Structure 1
Amino acid sequence: MPPEKPHWAHLLREVVRSGLCTGCAACVVACPHDVLQYDHERAFKPWKVEADGGPEDCTHGVKGCTMCTRACPRFRTWEPEVDTHLFGRPRAAEEVAGVARRTLLARAADPELHQAGQDGGLVSALLVWALEHDVIDAALVSGLEGDGTSWRAVPRVARTKEEVLASAGSRYTYSANTLAYREATEAGAERLALVGMSCQASVPAVMAARKAGKVARRLTLSIGLLCSKTFDDAIFPELFEARYGLRREDIAKINIKGVFQIWTRDGQYHEVPLKEGHAWTREGCLHCPDFAAEHADIATGGIGAFNDWTLTIVRTQRGEEVLEGALADGVLETRPVEDDPDVLPLLRRLARVSRRRWPEGADPAPRLLPATAGTGGPPA
């Protein structure tokens, strides 16, 4: 008797209910039968409709459909599969923050993009360049619900510079940006960039490695955001407002640099200790081992000494081509990563912290390899 092909029942048991699910919604987007839905409120997890096998099984899966498991970036041996697909080999012990072709500091040369973006506007500049040079048709990003004062992050599609500017900045509450896929494709987009936290940034490579159909072919560029965690929306009323009197509608900008940095619309600046936010850590982040967006084409993050420069890690040939094109057209400014001697040790330290979250009993590959199990270890 042939072995059973993994489908929703296996994904539900091994990922969704085990605590490995990050809420990236890749399974929902990839499902060709529209039987998977998504909880946008506090769970941020997929669920299955009552039809076609009920919430715990899937008649399509029983008949051979494996698309949801092929799309999931936490299902079984995901890390070595994706590493091998992207880089021709699994990561080495010293590559605790993933495989890198090139690392530098970068920011947008356009003052408008620089000011609107987080940490120099690099991601915005890359998206605008890719849109204007026919590299992509649209980008799957996040925006703020309504007029922005709710600070609730929601998936958005960006097709123009104006729409990229509207999505600029960081939220720190979760948005499954993959869910903007349908809106983008229904409007005719065939080549999509996905911008998202580390868990989402793995989705295009996972789908490509496992041959997840037309969705995989359309996700042509992945820009990952370095991410240690995101927070439940309740952090606004229960921490920022209740303890510090900071109402969400009065907040103009948020950043994290060892503390919550909060700027209010009246021009004032406030700091909230980061450790006070731990209780509002989103469930999907508790076991995520990937701080450094290790399977993105380009990984980016505002860590290090410079507030208006972005640590930029080019991981793939596709990422190299996009970065080089943007540099050739003068839309980026760069400086050597050596200008900030502490940033790569910080990257490796944060990557180790995240890798230690990966639970025993799950596939062992994402855990720290022996050479980097200590606090020292060789450089990435």
Structure 2
Amino acid sequence: MSLLRSAPDMTGGAALAPADVIRSGLCIGCGACVAQCAGETVEMRLDVYGQMKPAGSRAWLNRPTMPLAASCPFSPDAENEDVIADSHFPDACGRDPLIGRYEAAYVGHAEEDAFRARGSSGGLVTWVAVELLRKGLVDGVAHVAPSPGRKAEEPLFAYTISRSVEALRQGAKSRYYPVELSGVLRTIRSVPGRYAVIGIPCFIKAVRLATAQDPVLAERITFTLGLFCGHMKSARMAESFAWQMGAGMEEVTTLDYRVKSPDRPANWYRAQMSLSDGTTRVEDWWHMVDGDWGAGFFQNHACNFCDDVVAETADISFGDAWVEPYSSDGRGTNVVIVRSRKLHEIVSDGIASGRIVLEPVDAGFVAATQAAGVRHRREGLSFRLTWRRAGLMPRKRVQASSAGLSVRRKMIYRMRYGIARWSHRIFLAARLLRRPGLYLAWAKVALSTYHGLAYARGPVGRLVERLGLTGAEDGH
């Protein structure tokens, strides 16, 4: 299945326009299309739903081009993750259908300095990036950091390029917020040097596709560091958190999505906001009406068609070790997949010197740490591909099928899809009407219904049990 659309057929390597991707709900907001443009007034902006989208003239938005067809990570004609990984890691000794090609896999943390304490997880993302700078292997690292000098209506976070260890350290922590790459890709193209790029799976894929077309980017982007991903959230999740903490976004100066506490399990997320009046608000995610990540609140629609959880095209990728005993360790623990021989040398040296503490694990262990995400991106995607829809359909590595799925699992996937879709719309209505309670009341009912399906809780759960739809399945 390459594509389904009511408009003229575009299979077989045809050109693609930005509007085609946007109308199909497949724009993830990476900015690769905007980064290609020269001499045109185009940019990436937050849309009314708080998601990054390209903005330009109608002529540009509707102009089909071959470069976009080859570089958009959700294009029907873009190479998939297997093809990209095969070309970049042909000699990798391991291959697994769920985590891709790899040289080695580990679980552990950074022992050196305060990398672990300052990061959301085990501190290894920043440790590896800093090591690349220390060894002179790169001149800059493109990563997400708080927006400098942010004004009230501007995004909380943005990509930047750090050229010093201290600047890079200040960008540590997870940011569940829409960002885009166009600015840093343009800088890399215009400023000579060697660069590393840190990003979620679809962003790293976009970088790989861009470097395949642009020899300057291919020469200058020498390392890619991937982050495991559940899905992309819109900027409205941060705003919803602010509402629930009794503040408006215009008052928020900083947001830490995961305040770390050694005496709490790592998977007990706690958000902290600093406000312009100098006060701080803190709240546990599970007290938020939309704090259950797996329910899908504010998910980008394109994430419904992603099958890469672990950044399979990155030289090295990192996630949280969501299995015991690691998930109960509040200090944070990473699971790491190494694909590049050079980065494997760096990691091995760090282990030997005691600066990082890592234990080898197999592909099955890595997949188990991301079991819920893998199930949603493979089993769930296979089911979603059976649904009738108009517009572009990217070629995926799973086949459309609902075979073997229980009624309950199908209902869970349908419910997640509905929550993701309607959370954007109802939040927008509440925002325009200045009635936060409208969204919060809907979200509370939606979450209760979802928990009834997924975990057999409350009146919905009792009905599910009565109908005989419960089973041993994990509800995530």
Shift of 1:247: 6.7
Stretch moving more, 137-146 or 321-330: 321-330
Give the match's secondary structure for 1:202: helix
Structure 1 residues 280 and 217, CA, compared in 2 at 3 Å: closer, same or farther? Answer: same
Matched residues in 2 for 1:363 and 1:276: separation? 23
Q: Specify which of 387, 393, 397 is matched with residue 366 of structure 1.
A: 397
Shift of 1:298: 0.7
Q: Specify which of 229, 233, 258 is matched with residue 255 of structure 1.
A: 258
Structure 1 residues 290 and 354, CA, compared in 2 at 3 Å: closer, same or farther? Answer: same
Structure 1 residues 250 and 73, CA, compared in 2 at 3 Å: closer, same or farther? Answer: closer
Q: Specify which of 299, 304, 311 is matched with residue 335 of structure 2.
A: 311
The aligned counterpart of 1:123 is: 125
Matched residues in 2 for 1:183 and 1:99: separation? 30
Structure 1 residues 197 and 285, CA, compared in 2 at 3 Å: closer, same or farther? Answer: same
The aligned counterpart of 2:298 is: 280
The aligned counterpart of 1:201 is: 204
Shift of 1:147: 6.1
Give the match's secondary structure for 1:157: strand
Structure 1 residues 45 and 173, CA, compared in 2 at 3 Å: closer, same or farther? Answer: same
Q: Contact 1:298 / 1:315 at 8 angstroms: preserved in 2?
A: yes
Question: Aligned AA for 1:230?
Answer: M
Matched residues in 2 for 1:300 and 1:159: separation? 22
Structure 1 residues 352 and 322, CA, compared in 2 at 3 Å: closer, same or farther? Answer: farther
Matched residues in 2 for 1:148 and 1:126: separation? 28
* Cα deviation code 1:87-144 (max 9, x no counterpart): 449xx99512322221102322332322222212111111111012111111111111
Give the match's secondary structure for 1:280: coil
The aligned counterpart of 1:242 is: 243
Matched residues in 2 for 1:28 and 1:325: separation? 39
Question: Aligned AA for 2:333?
Answer: W
Shift of 1:35: 6.0
The aligned counterpart of 1:105 is: 107
TM-score (norm 1): 0.78
Q: Contact 2:224 / 2:315 at 8 angstroms: preserved in 1?
A: yes
What does 1:14-25 align with in structure 2 at a 5 Å threshold? Answer: 15-25=21-31
Bigger Rg over Cα: 2
**Is 2:377 the counterpart of 1:354?**
yes
* Cα deviation code 1:138-172 (max 9, x no counterpart): 11111112468978111111111111111110110
Give the match's secondary structure for 1:129: helix
**How many pairs were matched up?**
357
The aligned counterpart of 1:181 is: 185
Matched residues in 2 for 1:330 and 1:219: separation? 29
Q: Specify which of 54, 66, 69 is matched with residue 46 of structure 1.
A: 54
Matched residues in 2 for 1:369 and 1:246: separation? 44
What does 1:149-168 align with in structure 2 at a 5 Å threshold? Answer: 152-168=156-172
Q: Specify which of 284, 303, 308 is matched with residue 270 of structure 1.
A: 284
**Is 2:79 the counterpart of 1:78?**
yes
Shift of 1:275: 5.2
Give the match's secondary structure for 2:397: coil
Shift of 1:195: 0.5
Question: Aligned AA for 2:377?
Answer: S
Matched residues in 2 for 1:317 and 1:121: separation? 21
Give the match's secondary structure for 1:362: coil
Give the match's secondary structure for 2:52: coil
Give the match's secondary structure for 1:167: coil
Stretch moving more, 120-129 or 196-205: 196-205
Matched residues in 1 for 2:131 and 2:151: separation? 29
Q: Contact 1:28 / 1:34 at 8 angstroms: preserved in 2?
A: no
Matched residues in 2 for 1:274 and 1:330: separation? 37
The aligned counterpart of 2:175 is: 171
Matched residues in 1 for 2:243 and 2:253: separation? 14
Shift of 1:285: 2.7
Matched residues in 1 for 2:115 and 2:226: separation? 18
Q: Contact 1:226 / 1:301 at 8 angstroms: preserved in 2?
A: yes
* Cα deviation code 1:340-371 (max 9, x no counterpart): x965323244223123337537344332699x
Q: Contact 1:71 / 1:207 at 8 angstroms: preserved in 2?
A: yes
Question: Aligned AA for 1:28?
Answer: V
Q: Contact 1:113 / 1:124 at 8 angstroms: preserved in 2?
A: yes
Structure 1 residues 33 and 149, CA, compared in 2 at 3 Å: closer, same or farther? Answer: closer
The aligned counterpart of 2:231 is: 229
Give the match's secondary structure for 2:84: helix
Matched residues in 2 for 1:214 and 1:107: separation? 35
Question: Aligned AA for 1:69?
Answer: A
Give the alignment's Cα RMSD to 1 decimal: 3.8
Structure 1 residues 214 and 40, CA, compared in 2 at 3 Å: closer, same or farther? Answer: farther
Shift of 1:293: 1.0
**Is 2:309 the counterpart of 1:291?**
yes
Q: Contact 1:197 / 1:226 at 8 angstroms: preserved in 2?
A: yes
